[in-house]
Amino acid sequence: MESYLQLGGAQGRLIAQPLKMCNRHGLIAGATGTGKTVTLQVLAETFAHAGIPVFAADIKGDLSGVAVAAVPSEPVDQRLAKMPGLEWQPGSAPVVFWDILDNAGHPLRTTISEMGPLLLASLLDLNDNQLSALYGIFAWADQQGMLLLDLKDLQALMDWLLKHPQELSSLSGGISTASIQAIQRRLLILEQQGAERLFGGPALQLADLMQRDISGRAHIHLLEASRLIQESPRVYASFLLWLLSELHEQLPEQGDADKPRLVLFFDEAHLLFKGTPKALHERIEQVVRLIRSKGVGVFFVTQSPSDLPDAVLAQLGLRIQHALRAYTPKEQKALRAVAEGFRSNPEFDTREVLTELGVGEALVSVLDEKGRPSVVERTLIAPPRSRIGVLSEGERDAVFRSSPLAGRYERGIDRESAYELLATRAQQTQVEEEEQKTQKTPKSAAKKTEKGMLDGLINSTVRSTLQTLARQIGRELARGLLGSLTGRK
């Protein structure tokens, strides 16, 4: 069964889905406390043992136990007895920890330029006018060949535009100073939330997510997200969307393959769509549809399928639905919708079973070899091979020290970017103003004036050459569906 994703058992039968169908995405849903996190752990470790890298957000720290093998116990033996044919033995998976706000893992960074205006506007919660202004700011930076690596680059760029109104008027459609000032205020709020740690260098390299150990097992990359979800949910959602966009833009087409190239688990998936503009919704739906051909599977983890847009739900193949609670008329309506989303099984009433499921039990619909959804099955989820629960501080430190990426991202790098280029430009402008003041000098200073004119001519020539080169670089920049920078390599 190495070519299958083994999920559990139903009525003495093994429930599994071919690995080659796991790029058709999936859903893990259910009320709080019904076993979603353990199900995610089972899937993640199975993918890793099959050589498929995994990236997942660890909302409560529970997933860290995947780095340590489980201890056989009587409850595990009793559950396995109900799943004949299931291949199970205790085992750990290689884990890499990441973090954005704190130091609980490798620093996870991207750059302002790579994130792009659309995702950044969602992160800043901008209105349409401000979004239009941000697009104009990015267009001007791209035209000038200025990389925006961190928040200080973007602030410096907007300060420059405010001090040079002629630059604003040269942009397509023009940009009001009020819109720029509003964006600056939003950036200050973002900085107070600690989001400046997300931007800078070295930025995440996608190749580092694809590594395997010497035995062929792939790594499970866990993003420490407990504090991130509480304090900066928009940062969390924007980063995940940026990662999805980068994978879509950078990975080559894979076509039909025996297994996915990478699997992503998006926990608290409702945050990806909550409060985002319609244009971003449409592009997310498009990326989810297209990224399948790149060999990337996306699994959304949330309490109810209604948290996701219908256009996204329609693209999900594997469906794992844990118990739902339905006490109010609204919840009853949602329950009916969930039941109707499955291919019905004549052996039971799907709607009734949804409220009867126990912890670690779920309604499951898989895809067969030809991509057809099976009838829904009441399924006992397999026990994970690894430990359920949080690692101790010492265990986590040991895993972190043995990371194959140790030392690669810990030290920040501040490359020459918009902040430095604009500072140089400001100095050059000051020199030009001083030269103009000395043009009307006495004849006794003629020799000195000639030297100043020569220096000014040289500086002007150098600036002209640099500006031509910058415009050429700007024309080569391109942005993808979600506005992220493409063609950077």
Q: Do 56 and 66 contact (CB within 8 A), yes or no?
A: no
Parallel, antiparallel, or unpaired: how do β-strands 296-302 and 318-321 relate?
Answer: unpaired
Q: Which of 430, 442, 346, 51 is nearest to 216 (CA)?
A: 51
Residue 419: partners with Cβ closer than 8 Å, 6 or more residues away: 152, 153, 156
Q: Over range 367-374, report the average pLDDT.
A: 94
Give the tokens for residue 440.
Answer: 């009307």
d(CA 318, CA 323): 17
Predicted confidence band of residue 173 (pLDDT cuts 50, 70, 90): low
**pLDDT at res. 225:** 92
Q: Tell me: the pLDDT tens digits for 145-161?
A: 888 999 999 999 999 98
Query: Above 90 in pLDDT, residue 69?
Result: yes
Who has greater pLDDT, 40 or 171?
A: 40
Place of tokens 């209105």: 127
**pLDDT at res. 472:** 44
Domain ranges of the chain: 4-108+204-401, 112-197+413-486
Q: Tell me: the pLDDT tens digits for 70-107?
A: 998 998 998 888 888 888 899 999 999 999 988 889 99
Q: Tell me: the pLDDT tens digits for 325-342?
A: 888 888 899 899 999 999
The whole-angstrom distance between residue 386's C-alpha and the CA centroid of its chain comes to 26
For residue 69, CA distances in Å to 37, 66, 72, 309 come to 17, 7, 9, 37
Specify the CATH number for 4-108+204-401; select among 3.90.245.10, 3.40.1360.10, 3.40.50.300, 1.20.1430.10.
Answer: 3.40.50.300
d(CA 381, CA 265): 18
Percent of the chain with pLDDT over 70: 89
Q: Tell me: the pLDDT tens digits for 97-134?
A: 999 988 889 999 999 999 999 999 999 989 988 998 99
**pLDDT at res. 476:** 46
For residue 4, CA distances in Å to 107, 369, 401, 404 come to 34, 10, 33, 28
Q: What is the mean pLDDT of the chain?
A: 87
Q: Do 376 and 364 contact (CB within 8 A), yes or no?
A: yes
Predicted confidence band of residue 464 (pLDDT cuts 50, 70, 90): very low
Query: Residue type at 26?
Result: G
d(CA 61, CA 99): 12
Place of tokens 């849903």: 29
DSSP characters over 187-255: HHHHHHTTGGGGBSBSPPPGGGGS-B-TTSPBPEEEEE-HHHHHH-HHHHHHHHHHHHHHHHHHSPP--
For residue 276, CA distances in Å to 100, 126, 138, 349, 483 come to 21, 10, 20, 36, 14
Q: Over range 238-252, report the average pLDDT.
A: 93
DSSP bridge pairs for 367? 373
DSSP characters over 254-306: --S-SS-SEEEEEESGGGGTTT--HHHHHHHHHHHHHGGGGTEEEEEEES-GG
